[in-house]
Chain A
Amino acid sequence: MKRLVLARRETTTRGGQPLAFLVGLVFALVVGAILLRITGDPVLDVYERMWDRSLGSQNTWSDTFNRAVPLALAGLAVSIAATMGLWNIGAEGQIMFGAIAATFVGRLLPDAPGLVLIVAMLLAAALGGALWSFGPAVARSEIGVSEIITTLMLTEVASRLIVYLEQGPWKDPDGFGFPGVTPRPDQAELGTLWERTHIGVLIALAVIIGFAWYLRRSVWGYELRIAGSSEKAAAFAGISVRRKVLGVLLVSGAVAGFAGGIELLTTTTGKLNVQISNGYGFAGIIVAALALMRPSGVAAVALAFGALQVGGQAIQTNPGVSPAVATILQGLVLFGAIGAAVFSTYRLRLVDRQVAES
């Protein structure tokens, strides 16, 4: 008798991660097809529609690109913290607070020229994100409170804060009594590059390339790597782990907040609301994980996820297809990719039942 066991590979396969991602994608599509089959939806039609709406034409490419921007920036935020082994899983809340800060500046300078206002609002967004991660950062660096809990919990606080602003101090006087924040000044809108693709795509790409380069080449990035390697090694090199923890969480928050600023400057309604972060902060964790926590990898993964989300949204308008399909597919990609990644460390082997059981 033979049976299958999972045995650890003595050497891990190199370059396995992009492959694992592709396997995850295929796995998601196959399992997704089975699910659609069970619910009685036309599999090929649904997939075709997803493709058409995300990558099928130049026009839809715009949606995918635009969608990839917050995903990539959130992924970047998570991966920056991860260079030191820290988990910022509250990028969602930092995105919201970044948008709040940007809205605040918009209300403060309603008549400023467009460019000035845009720059000021984006800076405010980054500062806001950093401010939102300040508490967790200090708690972690000074008394060792896990940043995982605190960053996550502050997300809830940020969303309640937006609800409060919508109904209270920032309520739109022209909103016919409905709750809602006054839209940003009209001149504060990021322009487009082509079709609906907005300039935020270029800005995000520059930010990602900048960070990937800076982390690799700078003293700061080097010190983060040493500090993340081991506390003793950092002490040996004369690096204060406490200050690095503080710094890296603030920067991570700033990047997430910046994503909130971009979102605010590109939404069609121009309004701050709880949907502004739209799950990007959480999806960013997945993006960063699939990019192996490397800042240089988040753009590509975010693009694939953007396509999946945009395509998934399109099929929701198709009568009969559950809106959950898109979410399920995203989950399956991660599931499949992680499953496939296991095989870069483990392999299946047929062994004698006797030995396996003995």
Chain B
Amino acid sequence: MTVPAVELDGIWKRFPGVIANSGANLTVRPGTVHAVLGENGAGKTTLVNCLAGVYRPDEGAVRLGGREMSFSSPANAITAGIGMVHQEFRLVPTFTVAENVVLGAAPRVIDQGGIEALVADLAARFGFDADPGRPVWQLSMGERQRVEILKALWREANVLILDEPTAVLTPQEAVELGEVLRRMVAEGRSVIFISHKLDEVVSFCDEATVLRSGATVAASLPVAEVDASELAKLMVGDVAVEPVPVAVAMPGDPTLTVDALSVRDARGLLAVDDVSLEVRSGEIVGIAGVAGNGQRALTDAIAGLEPVESGTITVMQHDVTSAPPQRRFRAGLAYVPEDRLGVGLAPKLPVTENAMMRAYRKLRRGPIIAWDDADQLTDQIIREFEVKIGSKGAPLASLSGGNLQRLLLGRELTGEPDILVASQPTRGLDVAGVRAIQRLIVQQRDNGTGVLMVSEDLDELLALADRILVMVEGRIVGEFDPRVATRADIGAAMMGGSDRGTRPDTEEVSS
């Protein structure tokens, strides 16, 4: 048997109050795409961070090609041939593709044209379609990811780690990524592919290692010989995987009406372009689309965080187009923003101070806040929404992702809103967290709340939404009925392809 390209042996990694890895193993053969599967919080990212030099394992060995390594920084790991593409890209938006690729690893004297040619060659070798002279801010998420991969290849990475790479990709882009990865392993490199999406693992990967609660529960399973449901069972343990039950929608009166809305972004470009939509009580309207197609500007504008260029926003018959956010909240609009920690919450402040963000004006006695009432409100949210916290005085950042989201959603729902706008409400959560949040959202709908839900997870929208709108480049390009539309139909629309939506005015064609 050949010497493994990567061997992580008995890795333990503890953080205060948390054991992220408890004796995890990972063995990757050269020339293979190896999946690391597990729920969020299973310790996947921590484990590969030990390999990438971000963390040092408390115990256990890291071996590359049979040689034991001890990395004191990511720079060490890079020189040893480890490349990592993080979930959040680390690119300089104003630099060109080529500049980003060579940044930190450039020859001393930079010859712009020469470098662009080298980067273009490198891209061509792996079948990338990349223009090295373009500034990164003009690129789509998928293109940016390719720049990150090129960065690693430029540094001659022998082992490439991709952390949840397909989260930002269209189905089509994901397939292309798979092809690039095949080319890389054909050259004898190894790829570590972190994911919790089974279908991708089955289609791209040769072997899979499954982590659960920080430990390896199955090592180097040959993917071709294992059933996807088998992998799912390994991932979640004994918990049965069943879909959130969704009853038939009983839509009532309009709760949110957006009419001919246009919003400009910071660069002055039209992020939202003439969008009209309506959400009625008791229905979930889903917005599908690849990240960066104006979804954030749309929801931020509805919530009052982004100024409107033209058009109107009406919440429960009140025109709130230019109203401040708290007026909209009082009118019945609750908002779960995409950027939870930067917009919806203040991570350095205590749990209580986050829980009272919407209601603190009602909790005041003169100039002083009635902290007993604030604590009561916090307790109530924590109890009702099953938020697990250490102490109410601890900084919010100490909560796990799922609990953060429960707290945020709980806070927004305490006002008993008529319309809930939720942007990527389940992104980054583990299976149990996703389910809990989805259940809460469906519950709201069943209680007569209108829900506008933006998600990049098409399966989620297909399961939950009563109608799906597809957003491309700031416009709504199609409307689909999830009962009849297929993944492929919606995927094609997301790519800006033919408009095959089942709009209400063409309903007779589809149903």
Contact = CB atoms under 8 A, between A and B. Distances in A.
B92 interface: no
A237 B357 contact: yes
A10 B360 CA distance: 35
B376 interface: no
* Chain A interface, >50% SS class: helix
Contact of A358 (B80, B325, B326, B344): B80
A225 B346 contact: yes
Top 6 A-B pairs ranked by shortest CB distance? A238-B326, A229-B346, A232-B343, A237-B357, A219-B364, A218-B367
Contacts, number: 85
B353 A10 contact: no
Q: What bracket does the count of chain B residues touching chain A fall in?
A: 35 or more
A10 B18 CA distance: 13
A160 interface: no
A5 interface: yes
Contacts of B56: 7
A226 interface: yes
Contact of B367 (A220, A233, A355): A220
B104 to A, nearest CB: 16
Interface of B: 15-16, 55-56, 69-73, 76, 79-80, 303-305, 324-327, 329, 335, 337, 339, 342-349, 353, 357-358, 360-361, 364, 367-369, 371
Given A229-B347, A237-B325, 10 more contacts: A214-B367, A217-B369, A219-B361, A222-B353, A229-B346, A229-B348, A233-B343, A233-B346, A238-B327, A352-B70
B396 to A, nearest CB: 10
A358 B305 contact: no
B368 A236 contact: no
Contact of A351 (B70, B345, B364): B70
Given A219-B364, A222-B369, A235-B325, A5 B72 contact: yes
Contact of A233 (B71, B324, B342): B342
Contact of B305 (A10, A236, A351, A356): A236
Nearest to B303: A236
A351 B72 contact: yes
A235 B369 CA distance: 20
A37 interface: no
B353 to A, nearest CB: 6
A230 interface: yes
B265 to A, nearest CB: 14
A236 B357 contact: yes
Interface of A: 5, 7, 10-11, 214, 217-220, 222, 225-226, 229-230, 232-233, 235-238, 349, 351-352, 355-356, 358
Contacts of A237: 325-326, 357-358, 360
Contact of A232 (B69, B339, B361): B339
A229 B337 contact: no
Nearest to A11: B16
Nearest to A226: B346
Nearest to B371: A217
**Which one of B73, B324, B335, B347 has the greatest number of beta carbons of chain A within 10 Å?**
B73
A218 B371 CA distance: 9
A233 B339 CA distance: 10
28 contacts: A10-B15, A11-B16, A214-B367, A217-B368, A218-B367, A218-B369, A219-B360, A219-B361, A219-B364, A222-B369, A226-B353, A229-B347, A229-B348, A230-B346, A232-B305, A232-B339, A232-B342, A233-B357, A235-B305, A236-B325, A236-B335, A236-B337, A236-B344, A237-B325, A237-B360, A238-B329, A352-B70, A358-B79
B234 to A, nearest CB: 29
Given A217-B369, A219-B360, A222-B353, A238 B343 contact: no
A356 B72 contact: yes
A213 B324 CA distance: 30
Contact of B360 (A217, A222, A229): A222
Contacts of B342: 230, 232-233
- Which of A214, A232, A349, A356 has the most C-beta atoms of chain B within 10 angstroms of its own C-beta? A232
Nearest to B69: A355
A352 to B, nearest CB: 7
Contacts of A236: 303, 305, 325, 335, 337, 343-344, 357
B72 A11 contact: no
A355 B357 contact: no
Contacts of B346: 225-226, 229-230, 233
A238 B325 contact: yes
Contacts of B337: 236
B154 to A, nearest CB: 18
A235 B323 CA distance: 12
B368 A218 contact: yes
B15, B79, B360 — most chain A CB neighbours (10 Å): B360
A219 B361 CA distance: 8
B81 to A, nearest CB: 11
Contacts of B345: 233
A219 B367 contact: yes
Given A217-B369, A217-B371, A236-B303, A225 B349 contact: yes
A225 B350 CA distance: 11
A185 to B, nearest CB: 35
A37 B270 CA distance: 69
A10 B80 CA distance: 22
Nearest to B55: A10
Contacts of A225: 346, 349, 353
A10 B53 CA distance: 12
A355 B71 contact: yes
Contacts of A220: 367
Nearest to A229: B346
B16 to A, nearest CB: 6
Contacts of B76: 355-356, 358
Contacts of B371: 217
Contacts of B55: 10
B51 to A, nearest CB: 15
Nearest to B349: A225
A3 to B, nearest CB: 11
Contacts of A235: 304-305, 325
A233 B344 contact: yes
A307 B349 CA distance: 34
Contact of B73 (A7, A11, A230): A7
Contact of B357 (A214, A226, A356): A226
